[in-house]
Amino acid sequence: MRRVMILTLASMALATTGAAQSIRVTVNGEPVAFSGAGPRSVGGRILVPLRGVMEKLGAYVGYDGATKTVTANRGDVDLMLVLGQRSATVNGRSVTLDVPAEQYLGSTMVPLRFMGEALGAQVLWDAPSMTVQIVTSGSGTTVPTPPTTGTGSGDIDIDSFRAEAPTGGVKAGSIVRFTLIGQRNGQASVQVPGLADRIVLQEVSPGRYEGEYRVPANSSGLSGGAAIASLRIGGRERLIQASDNIRVDTNLPVIEDLLPAKDARTAQNRPNISASFIDEGTGIDTDTVKLTIDGTDVTRQANVTDRFVSYRPERALKPGRHTLVLTVRDRTGNQARQSWDFTVGDKADVVKSFEVDGTGDVRPGDVVTFTLIGEPGATVVANVGSKAKNIPLRERQPGVYTGEYTVRSNDQFFNDKVTARFKAKNGESYTIEANSRIAANARPNAPTITSPADGAKIGDSVTFKGKAAPGSKVRIVVAY
């Protein structure tokens, strides 16, 4: 007897491993011819070419290569999906795909379950002939009945089969419980392709079979799918599928794009703090996102979405090291935690000292030396007031910057402060003032007397006028 499973809006899980090219597709009893790639099995799921099936039903299929978006329209059905994503839109509602749509040999391949949801059709799998049968309502095509398999006569009675899994999906350590109600004195088992091959159910009371499966701790790569129970009595067997699929999500969310970066230093005392997260399973549960800074929960003041969290402190942070802790959970309960530190910069942490040796009576031709000790890899310039600017200091050895300035004849230094501008390799800038100033100046030019003129006659009193360097103290001696 042929084995046929009726899968209405359910995930198609292969129990056999046939070659992809041997899978055939019919729509309302008529075979579908594919010009490119045909149906194929990926990870225990059957993927079918969207265009071939939709066009067989008289639908229009379009593709936008720039956005990798596929659109299709058939009567009152409008669908849109993006290659590589596990969600699609059917008549404005979101539909989750068992596996992402993909492009294979130029064809858009979608999981069989999505085809059923998009068309409102029954999707049937005939294992012996490796045929996918798509039957739409009103087609007049005869739909096979659920199977009774094996040898001998008489049917096996099954009243119900239920799989109980945690809401949101199954993760490592989760327990899935199965209950089958049917004919007594049988042997019952369950298989969930992509999760477990054979789970034995015990007959706990006449006709009631129960069992459970705990997802192992090391369970990455498990996919889950339809739960199919078998009840065997003698040489006879009957299969039944649970109404809901078992969804497995054992992968932790990934936290990335940390800002400030791990162990970074920032000159901002109210820095922008953010991180992004990705979950390829059931998605992030935004209600579980938590961000703390130095142990204080700031989640309520943060902007939280299902893809990122961002926060800017309301008050200035003190200079020094600060610790951020971010925890996120997906809808299955898988939790990821990321802790990292950053430092709000203080000049004392960056620059250890800045000295200048030209603090005496500097004269034209004298060389003034500047020495700064700080973090390596920076760009440093020195300034003497507003008169000598942007004097470069070179890093002669790691963290030691020195530079020189030769006093010119027209330099006028009068207790001018000496500063350095330190730009760290991460872009932060600091201004440092030396403890000493250049207190004396180069010897000024001699003053000149413009009135009275040289050789002029004067009376009992006289007023002298002349020119001298700004700030000069002029003393006049009169001999007669």
- pLDDT tens-place values along the chain, 480 residues long: 333 333 333 333 333 333 334 678 888 888 888 777 778 776 556 777 877 777 776 777 787 878 888 887 777 778 888 888 877 888 777 766 767 778 777 777 877 666 665 666 667 766 667 787 777 755 554 444 444 333 333 468 888 888 888 776 777 788 889 999 999 999 999 988 767 778 999 999 999 999 999 888 766 555 566 788 889 998 888 888 776 777 777 778 899 989 888 888 787 888 889 999 988 777 888 999 999 999 999 999 999 998 999 999 999 999 889 999 999 988 878 889 999 999 887 777 788 999 998 666 777 888 999 999 999 999 999 998 878 899 999 999 999 999 999 988 788 777 788 999 999 887 888 888 888 887 655 455 678 888 888 888 887 788 888 887 665 677 888 777
- Cα(377)–Cα(401) distance, integer angstroms: 10
Predicted confidence at residue 444, as pLDDT, reads 58
Tokens representing residue 444 in the block:
């000024």
Predicted confidence at residue 128, as pLDDT, reads 62
Cα separations in angstroms, 422 against 45, 62, 378: 61, 58, 7
Q: Is there a contact between 67 and 82 (Cβ–Cβ < 8 Å)?
A: yes
- Tell me the residue type at 209: Y
- Cα(310)–Cα(292) distance, integer angstroms: 12
Task: Give the list of residues 6+ apart from residue 367 with CB closer than 8 angstroms, or none.
Answer: 358, 404, 405, 406, 407
Domains of the chain: 4-135 (3.30.457.10), 148-247 (2.60.40.10), 254-344 (2.60.40.1220), 347-433 (2.60.40.10)
Angle, vertex CA 334, rays to CA 333 and CA 339, nearest 5: 120
3-state secondary structure the chain: CCCEEEEECCCCECCCCCCHHHCEEEECCEECCCCCCCCEEECCEEEEEHHHHHHHCCCEEEEECCCCEEEEEECCEEEEEECCCCEEEECCEEEECCCCCEEECCEEEEEHHHHHHHHCCEEEEECCCCEEEEECCCCCCCCCCCCEEECCCCCCCEEEEEEECCCCCECCCCEEEEEEEECCCCEEEEEECCCEEEEEEEEEECCEEEEEEECCCCCCCCCEECCEEEEEECCEEEEEECCCCEEECCCCCEEEEEECCCCEEECCCCCCEEEEEECCCCCECHHHCEEEECCEECHHHCEECCCEEEECCCCCCCCEEEEEEEEEEECCCCEEEEEEEEEECCHHHHEEEEEECCCCCCCCCCEEEEEEEECCCCEEEEEECCCEEEEEEEEEECCEEEEEEECCCCCCCCCECEEEEEECCCCCEEEEECCCCECCCCCCCCCEEEECCCCCCCCCCCCCEEECCCCCCCCCCCCC
Cα separations in angstroms, 337 against 70, 78, 417: 36, 40, 50
Task: Tell me the pTM.
Answer: 0.43
Predicted confidence at residue 463, as pLDDT, reads 84
Tokens representing residue 174 in the block:
């989760």
Task: Give the list of residues 6+ apart from residue 479 with CB closer than 8 angstroms, or none.
Answer: none
Tokens representing residue 416 in the block:
């001018």
Phi, psi of 113 (to 5 degrees): -60, -45
